[in-house]
Amino acid sequence: MEKDRKSRDSTEDILEIYKLLVEMADRVSQRRQSANSFYLTVNTAIIGATAYVAREAEEANTWAISLAGIAICILWIRAVLSYKSLNSAKFAVITKLEQQLPVSAYSDEWQFLTGVDGSRHTPFHKIEVLVPFVFIFVHLVQFAIELPWEVTWEWTKSLFC
């Protein structure tokens, strides 16, 4: 009788820890979405402001702003990968705890999603990380358009000639 009660208490403790971990994983996903929204907004503002300034000002050196946009995109990529590794660790712990519970919801869901050969599902981070690369391309185009090529060419020639 005492052993059954301890076993039940242990299962209840594991279930409480499991619930907490699932909630924490959900919060990480929410923070991840907030971070993505932030970076998307900042990049959109930079691109819009750079295009506006370049159109309105005669002598606008917006190439430096484009470089800042590229730096922000690199930080965005790092954030995506960081959130991915954080969630991966949380789900590894969750699936390990599921082995001690009567139901393995996350493990079963992942098994269903990936299928036998793993080709059924594309993880979100693989798509999510492409967005900053699109913005990097746009920033590079803006940079190339606004860079004073004549001055750069003359400076380069003076170095090597």
pLDDT band for position 43 (cuts 50, 70, 90) = very high
Q: What is the pLDDT of residue 60?
A: 66
Query: Following CA atoms 143, 147, 153, 159 in sequence, which dihedral angle do they give, to the nearest 10 degrees?
Result: -80
More confident site: 116 or 155: 155
Question: Quick one: which of 143, 14, 16, 139 has its CA closest to 76?
Answer: 139
How far apart (Å, rounded) are the C-alpha atoms in residues 67 and 70?
A: 5
How far apart (Å, rounded) are the C-alpha atoms in residues 153 and 160?
A: 11
Q: Is 40 helix (H, G, I), strand (E, B) or coil?
A: helix
- Compute the average pLDDT of residues 35-54: 92
Give this prediction's pTM: 0.77
Worst-scoring range by mean pLDDT, 6-10, 18-22, 27-31, 91-95? 6-10
The alpha carbon of residue 34 and the mean position of all alpha carbons in its chain are separated, in whole angstroms, by: 10
Question: Quick one: which of 69, 35, 71 has its CA closest to 49?
Answer: 69
The alpha carbon of residue 90 and the mean position of all alpha carbons in its chain are separated, in whole angstroms, by: 16
Identify whether the C-beta of residue 101 lies closer than 8 Å to the C-beta of residue 14: yes
How far apart (Å, rounded) are the C-alpha atoms in residues 76 and 44?
A: 13
Token pair belonging to 7: 């076993």
How far apart (Å, rounded) are the C-alpha atoms in residues 100 and 94?
A: 10
